[in-house]
Amino acid sequence: MKEIEVHYPPEVLQEGEVPSDIRTEELVLNMGPQHPSTHGVLRVILQTDGELVLKATPYLGYLHRCAEKIAEKVTYRQFTPYTDRLDYLAAMNNNLGFALTVEKLGGIEIPPRADYLRVILAELNRIASHLMATGSYGLDMGAFTPLIYCFREREWIMDLFEAASGARLTYSYITIGGVREDVPEGWTQKCREFLDYFEPKITEYNNLLSFNHIFIQRTANVGICPPELALAYGLTGPCLRGSGVPWDLRKAMPYSRYGEFQFDIPVGRGTYGTVGDCWDRYFVRVEEMVQSVRIIRQALDKLADGPIQAKVPRVVKLPAGEVYYEVENPRGQLGFHLVSDGGTSPYRLKIRGPSFCNLSILPVLAPNCLLADIAALLGSIDIVMGEVDR
């Protein structure tokens, strides 16, 4: 046991700070479970003094669907569709995480084509998820248009996914032992077309939203999360990298074929404010989209014909034992702790949802924010309630 003194950011408000002395009646504000900027059925109880938030307490569980308990009742293959519904904006990555966990315990070898397809689709899904995150972050800030633009591009990715898997949101495409079926004829060409189209669009969004003066004023120096605090609270993904910690599982502990690709880890640099503010967390996502495009290009180059499925029986039986495996999801590290007693379904499956851990920082960062900053903060943490509540 070690005590860590957590130093809170001294001042969240910069200019025009609400004078700390004018205190009026405190108000308890029930934000959610139905609220436009809680991104799902999150309920946050805010204690406010006028516009100033004194305390924020998130209440979870509105979307709890017993995913972990269900896992004990179904076979390994049957659980794949349930992983779709964890982080429903990044279903491919969830599939990948679960498949890798099972394969690790079962010692299943994957053919290279399946591996590259997995990487391509997981990275495409990362782009789709980040598009959703950045677009809806604009909406949280009151800019409606970037959301529609981001959805326009996301639509193309959805089309690609639909062509590959037949589904547009819950794919169950990456299964144990490979991928469910091969991508159709001409799919890689379409994918390259998308990348060529998409890359210049990122600059466009930056000009429209990221470098917009008002947007910077709203997000820079808001909700500052210093690196120590981020590490202490177990933040992962863009939230951690936004605080300036260059930690990415794809680089640090490469899984699948990620070790073969050239890409950088974007980190928050405090360009317009302090390292770890909302703008940094937001911009890390934008930069990650560029890196994802790089990875997909390399993977597409390496994609060769071959089998897409390892020889795995219909009902997977794993040896007794336990394994913990983590993958880098768009929102952070998604971990599966799988305990098997040698049967056809897990004895216990513990899921570490990145959104859940990232959300834990909210009560720490929220005090001293303005009411509007709560929307900025929640949006920059980018939670998906399906994964928080599981």
How far apart are alpha carbons 183 and 215 in whole angstroms?
Answer: 40
Q: How far is CA 153 from the centre of its chain?
A: 18
Query: What is the secondary structure of 241-263 as a DSSP string?
Result: HHTT----HHHHS--TTGGGS--
Contacts with 28 (C-beta within 8 Å, 6 or more apart), sequence order: 45, 46, 47, 48
How far apart are alpha carbons 205 and 365 in whole angstroms?
Answer: 27
* Cβ nearer to another protein, comparing 213 with 314: 213
**Residue 18 region, left (φ>0) first, then alpha (ψ -120 to 50), else beta?**
beta
320 binds another protein, rule: CB under 8 A = no
20 binds another protein, rule: CB under 8 A = yes
How far apart are alpha carbons 223 and 14 in whole angstroms?
Answer: 11
Find, among 187, 180, 226, 204, the residue nearest to 84 by Cα: 180
User: What is the amino acid identity at position 90?
Assistant: A
Residue identified by tokens 């326009």 is 152
22 binds another protein, rule: CB under 8 A = yes
Nearest distance in Å: CB 316, another protein: 32
User: What is the amino acid identity at position 386?
Assistant: G
Q: Which stretch binds another protein (CB under 8 A): 32-40, 66-74, 78-86, 249-257?
A: 32-40
- Taking CB under 8 A as the criterion, the residue among 1, 109, 185, 305 binding another protein is 1
Cβ atoms within 10 Å, residue 262: 9
9 binds another protein, rule: CB under 8 A = no
Nearest distance in Å: CB 225, another protein: 14
How far apart are alpha carbons 192 and 186 in whole angstroms?
Answer: 10
- Taking CB under 8 A as the criterion, the residue among 214, 252, 315, 320 binding another protein is 214
139 binds another protein, rule: CB under 8 A = yes
SS3 of 335-380: EEEEEECCCCCCCEEEEECHHHHHHCCHHHHCCCCEHHHHHHHHHH
Instruction: Show the binding pattern over residues 220-259: x = contacts another protein (CB under 8 A), - = does not.
Output: ------------x---------------------------
How far apart are alpha carbons 108 and 102 in whole angstroms?
Answer: 8
- Taking CB under 8 A as the criterion, the residue among 256, 340, 368, 380 binding another protein is 368
8 binds another protein, rule: CB under 8 A = yes
169 binds another protein, rule: CB under 8 A = no
Sheet arrangement for strand 26-31: 26-31, 43-49, 52-59
13 binds another protein, rule: CB under 8 A = yes
Nearest distance in Å: CB 30, another protein: 8
What's the CA angle centered on 24, arms 23 and 28, to 5 degrees?
110
* Cβ nearer to another protein, comparing 49 with 260: 49
217 binds another protein, rule: CB under 8 A = yes
304 binds another protein, rule: CB under 8 A = no
* Cβ nearer to another protein, comparing 78 with 206: 206
- Taking CB under 8 A as the criterion, the residue among 63, 143, 253, 323 binding another protein is 143
262 binds another protein, rule: CB under 8 A = no
Tokens of 51: 């516009």
115 binds another protein, rule: CB under 8 A = no
212 binds another protein, rule: CB under 8 A = yes
Q: Which residues bind another protein (CB under 8 A)?
A: 1-6, 8, 13, 15-25, 27, 29-30, 35-37, 49-52, 54-55, 138-145, 148-149, 152, 155-156, 194, 197, 201, 208-209, 212, 214-215, 217-218, 232, 364, 367-368, 370-375
